[in-house]
Structure 1
């Protein structure tokens, strides 16, 4: 039986499905941030609201993506993007039934930038609430493979095999199934998950990134050795109930994203975009730079360090992001 985090809530959907989510900040605010997590993540909000969000009295909503944690998987008869439009509409309608004055800020990290971009570029007839989007924040983003014809040059061979054409074309989700077998022993307990995230991210930090991490820990009162505990908890919870989200990764990245094409968005969709990249996160850096060259009204910001470098300077990133949004 999967755990339900004390901060997690479950929204009942049709056909017995549920969407897990966490929320923080000001529930009555018309300023709403929706943040999508990456691979091996669940919706979770910080214990303390970041100052730039607190100053704007923002309502923070962090959904758990379909097939991860306690969120139901995408129904077999639906595409990921259509299901995304449906569940996010249901979530916003549930939390903000009077949506006339909503201002939505869509954000995501790593794989979470895929659903974030799908909502940002969604046709308004399919996602009417998209008209309320005021800006898009992308941290270490994926590019849409159908539009970025040279995406494969941005991936290492292991990642290309997993989420590139091999992972997509081989039947029965064979590649992600094999990959999941290799991962299960690394994330089956919180202790194993903490060791995994330490080896994946914290052990590889540059001196500059390590200094930023130490400042981040001191500011939040995090003890030495505890810096990876929250991430490890999310990793563990994300696949405790099901691996459906992981197995669906190649089919989602190659799904066409609901027709979203960064260069072809009309002026009405071209709300301000901040793309945050890290110098040592080579794959995401290349895809993010391509996105920056395609998206109208976008700006690229660089951080020192690797894949999670933005986590240590999120207060400044939020401040930067909101400074570009017209009042």
Structure 2
């Protein structure tokens, strides 16, 4: 028997027959649309909404990226960035057909920051909804390798092989195939995924991170162990049907991101950006600092801890982000 779909997850048929899965919460009639893009081994999922969005009556949408979970992969004859422009446009306009007063807040975590940056820097003639972007939030971000000359120097050896220079030259996508072979048995059941997430994100936490985690669980009413189960559920569902999303990670990183180059964005594309990096996640820390030096309207915020530490203070991060965007919003 197939697992039941989460109550707030929906499947949208795109032109051409592809399917885009997404989760949503909040007020679908609101002109304030917050769109968050997940990382590797993730799906679009909304467990809870930050108080600032409840107060503002915003609409929250988390798409599942192409090739992950229930979302169709990008067709072989389509460029990744072009498919994104079309899929996200269709998703937003299917829910918000009147886009005149739309305010779009883009956000992403880890690999999802690639997608968020592609949309943020998209030419308006190819992604007209880009004119409605109010701000960009990047959590543990990746920088574009075609623009960041020291990109590969920011990576561990495994990630260098996966998404660095070798990704362009190793034939038959062998590195991704090897990665799939090594990881498949770690995420093929929810129980295995829990062990994977616990080892990756929780067993290496410092005492300060553990304290922050406990405060977050107490504030949100999360029972011990449920924080691991929530993340593990997304990991399991992300590759339950197909590994196509994982297999395309190297090519997406090396795809040119639709020509996006942070330093070359014009004033119209320089909406407020908040970059959140953590001191112990040194790969994305280096790339986040580089992005902060290149984007014209960016602020870098530092948090203690590792790759998932921002999760424990997300309510404050969202509030910080929205406050910065509001402060720079044009007068009515």
TM-score by length of 1: 0.98
Partner of 2:292: 292
**Which residue does the alignment assign to 1:161?**
161
Q: Could you tell me which residue of structure 1 aligns to residue 116 of structure 2? A: 116
CA distance in 1, matches of 2:212, 2:27: 29
The whole-number CA distance in structure 2 between the counterparts of 1:41 and 1:319 is 24
Alpha carbons of 1:109 and 1:15: their partners in 2 closer, same or farther (altered >3 Å)? same
Conserved 8 A contact 1:29-1:59? yes
Q: Map 1:1-327 to 2 at 5 A.
A: 3=3, 4-46=5-47, 48-325=48-325, 326-327=328-329
Gaps of 5+ in 2: none
SS in 1 for 2:25: strand
Secondary structure of the equivalent of 1:321?
A: helix
| Distance in 1 separating the partners of 2:51 and 2:310 | 16
- Cα deviation for residue 6 of structure 1 reads 2.7
The count of aligned residue pairs is: 326
Q: State the SS of the aligned residue for 2:174.
A: helix
Deviations 1:174-228 (A, max 9, x none): 1101100100000000110011000001101111111100001111111222221
**2: CA distance, partners of 1:204 / 1:288:** 22
Instruction: Note the alpha carbon deviations across 1:115-164, whole angstroms, 9 max, x for none.
Output: 00000000000000000000000000000000001111100111101111
Cα deviation code 1:8-27 (max 9, x no counterpart)? 10001123210000000111
Partners of 1:39 and 1:192 lie apart in 2 by 17
Matched position secondary structure for 1:167: helix
1:241-265 CA distance string (max 9 Å, x none) = 1101100011000110000000000
Answer whether contact 2:167 2:254 (CA < 8 A) is retained.
no
Secondary structure at 2:268's aligned position in 1?
A: coil
Contact 2:187–2:235, Cα closer than 8 Å, also in 1 = yes
Distance 1:92 1:191 in 2: 35
Moved over 6 A (4+): none
Q: Is the 8 A contact 2:8 2:25 kept in 1?
A: no
What is the CA-CA distance between 1:2 and the residue it aligns to?
Answer: 6.4
Query: 1:7 & 1:24 partners in 2: Cα distance?
Result: 7
SS of the residue corresponding to residue 283 of structure 1 reads helix
**Secondary structure of the residue that 2:269 maps to in structure 1?**
coil
Q: CA deviation at 1:71?
A: 0.2
SS at match of 2:61: strand
Cα distance change of structure 1 residues 2 and 238 upon mapping to structure 2, 3 Å threshold: farther
TM-score normalised by L of structure 2: 0.96
Cα RMSD, aligned residues only: 1.0
> C-alpha distance in 2, partners of 1:139/1:22?
19
Contact 2:33 2:103 in 1 (8 A): yes
